[in-house]
Chains A and B, each alone.
Chain A
Amino acid sequence: NAGVMQNPRHLVRRRGQEARLRCSPMKGHSHVYWYRQLPEEGLKFMVYLQKENIIDESGMPKERFSAEFPKEGPSILRIQQVVRGDSAAYFCASSGLAGHEQYFGPGTRLTVT
């Protein structure tokens, strides 16, 4: 499967716990983007990363959220001390040199109880 992979597909966390979402980009892609989709809403940009660099994090909440894309391994979106309002679908997209053709993964649906 050469597509964008995300895991887990579903994640349930209690308030105050940490959530870690993983994304493996499409083969040959070095640009990773994270988007959040709240129920019945469109997707909102969170962060754009290249290997070992955060390029644009203008859509990330200032607290509790962080992202990384290490030299080896998947990109990780980390949410500390989750609250009910963090419940959403989190999508990762990747692109090659042409940054505008972004291909999305199946998403991780986070539920905070």
Chain B
Amino acid sequence: QQQVKQSPQSLIVQKGGIPIINCAYENTAFDYFPWYQQFPGKGPALLIAIRPDVSEKKEGRFTISFNKSAKQFSLHIMDSQPGDSATYFCAAIEAQGAQKLVFGQGTRLTINP
């Protein structure tokens, strides 16, 4: 059973555009939502994370928007660059319970020059 659903599966954006990746969850016990960036042949790197008591968090060019009532959250990348081309995973975790990350299926992002 997929507990975190991520879309789109792949995304192509021109340099400078704003790719948006969406995730939805069902388990209301989730209380921490990180995003990971993974380049081919590498491990996932923690990019940015948000808690459900905050509606938006920004770090550099990366922004998470969080809608608790809809149980949805999204990643926006401002002024995207070819170097941002990677696979992005959203995840969720019960920080006070089972401390295992539940990952979305991933989005393969390509930023064209």
Contacts and interface: CB of A to CB of B under 8 A. Distances in A.
Interface string A21-63: 0000000000101010000011111001000000110110000
A100 interface: yes
A65 interface: no
Interface stretch (A12-20, A77-85, A101-109): A101-109
A69 interface: no
Q: Classify chain B: how many residues form its interface, as a range.
A: 20 to 34
Given A99-B95, A100-B34, A43 B44 contact: yes
A72 to B, nearest CB: 24
Contacts of A98: 95
B48 to A, nearest CB: 11
Given A42-B106, A91-B44, A102 B101 contact: yes
B43 A107 contact: yes
B61 interface: no
Interface of B: 6, 32, 34, 36, 42-46, 49, 89, 93, 95, 98-106
